[in-house]
Chains A and B, each alone.
Chain A
Amino acid sequence: MKLTEENVRYVASLANLTLSEQEIHQYTADLSGILSHMEKLNELDTSQIEPMTQVLFAGQENDSLREDIEHTPLSNEVALANAPLAAAGYFKVPKVIER
């Protein structure tokens, strides 16, 4: 499977990644190679196979539900402790709306 640099730029925008020209170039080659290997799966006829969406779940249907018990969440101060930028009790980011 041969990818173009345009394909790679598009995927980078989907993935929210700024890449250098050199990275675009490198990943175009890498992804093409890896995806070619992945095409090996086409050797198998899987038309009658259900996709495996869950690894294993031997329990009862409601086993993954827990009691609805109140607990104290992280405080505002603790939640903001790792923020790169915070103000007035909120995370601060570049503005998204024009005035």
Chain B
Amino acid sequence: MNIAKLTIPAVRDGLLGKQFSAVELTTEALRFAQAENPKTNAYLTFSDQRALAAAARVDAQIAAGQPLGPLAGVPIAVKDVIVTKDVKTTCASKILSNYIPPYDSTAVERLEAAGGILLGKANCDEFAMGSSNENSAFGPVRNPVALDRVPGGSSGGSAAAVAQGTAVVSLGSDTGGSIRQPASFCGCVGVTPTYGRVSRYGLVAFASSLDHIGPVSRPVADSATLLGAIAGRDPRDATSASQPVPDYAALLGDSVQGLKLGLPKEYFSNLAPETGDRIMAGVEVLKKLGCAVSELSLPHTEYAIATYYILCTAELSANLSRFDGARYGVRSPNSQTLSDMYKNTRGEGFGAEVKRRIMLGAYVLSHGYYDAFYRKAQKVRRLLTEDFTNAFQQVDALITPVSPFPAFKIGEKVNDPIQMYLSDIYTITGSLAGVPCMSVPCGTTAEGLPVGMQILTKHFAEDVMFRLAHQYEKAGGFTA
């Protein structure tokens, strides 16, 4: 068994074929992940006890001849913005560096109910704010493909662990590209499902109208299986969708012949040359599979970044007001008044990027600016969403790059927030519209840096998206 290359079906076969028990596999997965972690800093916390207890339950099911869940025995990393009962959840922030949640997120509850093994908590940008994983209070994550480069962000640890082989699959969270962009930088599959497809209960809120939980994996099929296990209505998240969840993994083999694909011209104008070449080579593969490809326009794309950074900062400045040092987290020790306690706790506990965004959000919501910024952005969000509605009347899916360029060097963009924000251009639009979108590996640059192709479909058409990605993966041979 090569632990770094395991897939969900391989784990299942190994368990049912008695090649290893779930406890044996978990023990080895923990040992391997802990030995490899210093290279990338992908994990912040390992949950040995919880992992071994979950594995023992799977072994007991096997011994009793009971049916196994779809994730039985699968070692999984979970981004540290998703709460885990009795396992430290820091959001990669100093302000929550000692926080032990008293409850589980719905996503984690469901993945364990499906037999999944929580190996540990993945590093990320502080409160999921960043595009390079350099904003973690516990040090940056390094890209396992090229250790002097960023893994992308904010789910950098989730992508790095899967690329490094220290988890079979992982959960990330995506607000403006935070699953897809790191997946593309690390050469894995990363999926942002339809808004509301996965419950946000227990996902520490960043921007509630944009936050998504989603899977990262090596083969497409593993993301399909993981999403199927965690998706669905949850009474504890009023925005979670009640639509039935299809068996995504079972539908992967269906033909993609005759599907209509659109290339939005706004996404191809400003790319690193090799990124453009790889995407167009990917499009050729899809054509060979029988897809019809045409160019189209999403005319409001150029307004997406401004819209996104107004809405997300407004929402996060409100959401992060709960971190006040009163009930949990790290309190600043030397304050005489309650007001000073709030201000000092937040001033000392939040990192530079989080404070910058809280300030921006407070500004765009402040008296006299609400209509000019926040309300204006809500209107433009509708225009951006209508771009997608119109496009999906013509085509079944859109094909675009994930990022304008491959993974950059650690430190290269850290002092220029606007440049960092602009790098999210191709992922932000799908987040604003709430449509499902994913990154699938489509080869590497001459230097060996992975390039990701983005596939977007209409709301709740994850099955079409997965099928295209899977058929492409088989034909293109780019499984990590």
Chain A residues close to B by CB (< 8 Å): 3, 7-8, 11-12, 14-19, 23, 27, 30-31, 33-35, 37-44, 46, 49-59, 63-64, 66-67, 74, 78-79, 81-85, 91, 93-96
Contacts and interface: CB of A to CB of B under 8 A. Distances in A.
Contacts of A81: 100, 102
Contacts of B445: none
A19 B355 contact: yes
A93 B383 contact: no
A27 B289 CA distance: 51
B298 to A, nearest CB: 14
Interface of B: 98-100, 102-103, 194-196, 209, 235, 238-239, 241-243, 300, 302-303, 305-307, 309-310, 317, 321, 324-331, 335-344, 346-348, 350, 352, 355-356, 358-364, 366, 373, 375-383, 385, 417-418, 421, 434, 459
A64 B241 CA distance: 9
Contacts of B326: 84, 91, 93
B347 A19 contact: yes
Given A16-B321, A37-B305, A94 B355 contact: no
Contacts of B239: 55, 57, 64
Nearest to A14: B362
Closest 9 CB pairs of A and B: A18-B347, A51-B378, A82-B328, A84-B331, A66-B235, A46-B379, A52-B382, A64-B238, A15-B362
A31 B363 contact: yes
Given A27-B355, A41-B303, 17 more contacts: A11-B363, A15-B321, A15-B359, A16-B324, A16-B339, A42-B376, A44-B380, A46-B383, A51-B382, A52-B381, A52-B385, A55-B195, A56-B434, A82-B329, A85-B331, A91-B326, A94-B337
Contacts of B235: 66-67
A31 B350 CA distance: 17
Contact of B380 (A12, A18, A41): A41
Contacts of B380: 41, 44, 46, 49
Nearest to B378: A51
B242 A59 contact: yes
Contacts of B378: 51-53
Contact of A34 (B98, B338, B358, B418): B418
B56 to A, nearest CB: 25
A11 B329 contact: no
Contacts of A40: 302-303, 306
B211 to A, nearest CB: 10
Contacts, number: 165
Contacts of B324: 16
A8 B152 CA distance: 30
Contacts of A83: 327-328
Contacts of A58: 241, 243, 459
A93 to B, nearest CB: 5
Given A34-B421, A37-B306, A85-B331, A12 B359 contact: yes
Given A56-B459, A94-B335, A94-B337, A37 B418 contact: yes
A31 B360 contact: yes
A56 B195 contact: yes
28 contacts: A15-B346, A15-B359, A16-B321, A17-B350, A18-B348, A23-B355, A34-B309, A35-B373, A38-B306, A41-B376, A41-B380, A44-B380, A44-B383, A49-B382, A51-B378, A51-B382, A52-B379, A52-B385, A56-B196, A56-B434, A57-B239, A82-B98, A82-B328, A82-B329, A84-B325, A85-B331, A94-B336, A95-B338
A55 B389 CA distance: 13
A17 B307 contact: no
A31 B341 CA distance: 25
Contacts of A44: 300, 303, 380, 383
A64 B346 CA distance: 34
A60 B204 CA distance: 27
B254 to A, nearest CB: 24
Contact of A14 (B103, B195, B196, B366): B366
